[in-house]
Homo-oligomer: A and B are copies of this chain.
Amino acid sequence: MDQNATIKEMAAPEGRVSPAQLVDFVARAFVAAGLPQPDAQTVAGLMVQADLRGSDTHGVIRLPLYVRRLRAGGINVKPNICVLNDRASAALIDGDNGMGHLVMRRATELAIEKAKVTGVGWVGVRMSNHAGPAALYVTMPLAHDMVGLYFAVGSNNHLPPWGGSESLLGTNPMAVAVPALEEPPIVLDMAPTVAAYGKVRLKAQRGEAMPVGWMIDREGKPLTDAKRADEGHLLPIGDYKGYGLSLIIALLAGALNRAAVGREVIDFVKETGKATNTGQAIMAVSIEAFVPPAEFKKTVDGFVRDIRQSKRLPGVERIWLPGEQSHAKQLDRNAHGIPTPKALRESLDAVARELKIAPLN
């Protein structure tokens, strides 16, 4: 994410809402659900930042679920987030089952502080929760001329081991962000599965079939009926490679932090009253420890342009860099507001009714 992005006061065109209006609504909802005002504001700001950069599946759309979990006691409204272990370049934070956004923001700030002093900071968290898209945190080090790396244990198990028929692994994301000079930063944010589970849900809602290669059923046969998703499993990228990636991320972001992995992972959508013990890990790496940041960022610009201008396959109009489309969305949405499709509006209105607060204007 562009670190200069600010949430502006503005009039949004029809079908769109200004970031400030959306932050205000989300913060009011969280206050009504029991969060202290400053925490509500922080989480709302991060959630709207997610929408600004186009993470439509990981931003404000999650508000109803978060509220449900807060009200069911599945998330602690007044957590005592504390540092359990603290070394010069490594720390473990216990999130006390608070909102993941609060826990991860604290962890990222600590990783950046450590990297300033020693060159590298790695902060793991336990007893955290779903924290929105990785991009929110992995891009925070960029403003400090640092590279960010992020690993997280997914909030559901949808992936079996390679050859297996039991989902013991999640769509555990990994993300890396690298700054450029004039070009948008490179932001890779990927799950080790061919399709994200959110995409499967979308296909089910729309009554569309899934392409072969997204999922298999319990016999290993292609599953294309999205409504039957519960009867099958996601497929990993690169066969056994995606399985290995998911497992490694579970170990680095989960087991290393005494967070839930494997059979300990609960379905956070279904078990709203239970703590997830979500594990995440964020790393900040100071560029200056290796090479002058200006020189590095110029190299990134050059590489980006070589790639963008390289020969394309027939029919391909443009070669994109990881994070470039999100960056373009961010520019557009900062200028013109955030689209609020009918289904999103309705779900936010329902939250307002439930919490007895004024709806989003």
A residues with CB within 8 A of B: 85, 87-92, 117-122, 124, 147, 160-166, 168, 176, 178, 186, 188, 190, 192, 194, 216, 218-220, 237-238, 240-245, 247-248, 250-252, 255-258, 261-263, 285-287, 289-291, 295-296, 299-300, 302-303, 306-307, 310-316, 318-322
Contacts and interface: CB of A to CB of B under 8 A. Distances in A.
Interface of chain A, main secondary structure: mixed
A322 B220 contact: no
B314 A219 contact: yes
A286 B319 CA distance: 40
Given A118-B90, A257-B290, A262 B313 contact: no
Given A245-B188, A248-B176, A262-B307, A316 B194 contact: no
Contact of A311 (B166, B242, B318): B166
Counted per complex, copies of this chain come to: 2
B237 A290 contact: no
B322 A244 contact: yes
Given A186-B247, A186-B248, A307 B90 contact: no
A161 B307 contact: yes
A291 B252 CA distance: 12
A49 to B, nearest CB: 21
Contacts of A315: 220
Contacts of A258: 290-291, 295, 299
Leading 3 A-B pairs by shortest Cβ distance: A90-B119, A237-B238, A87-B119
Contact of A237 (B188, B241, B285): B241
A122 B219 contact: no
A164 B307 contact: yes
A87 B285 CA distance: 11
B92 A89 contact: no
Contacts of A310: 160-161, 164-166, 168
Contact of A176 (B186, B194, B252, B322): B252
Contacts of A244: 188, 190, 322
Contacts of A287: 256
Nearest to A84: B290
Given A89-B118, A190-B245, 10 more contacts: A87-B118, A87-B120, A91-B119, A91-B289, A120-B122, A178-B252, A220-B315, A244-B322, A250-B303, A256-B296
Contacts of A87: 118-120, 286, 289
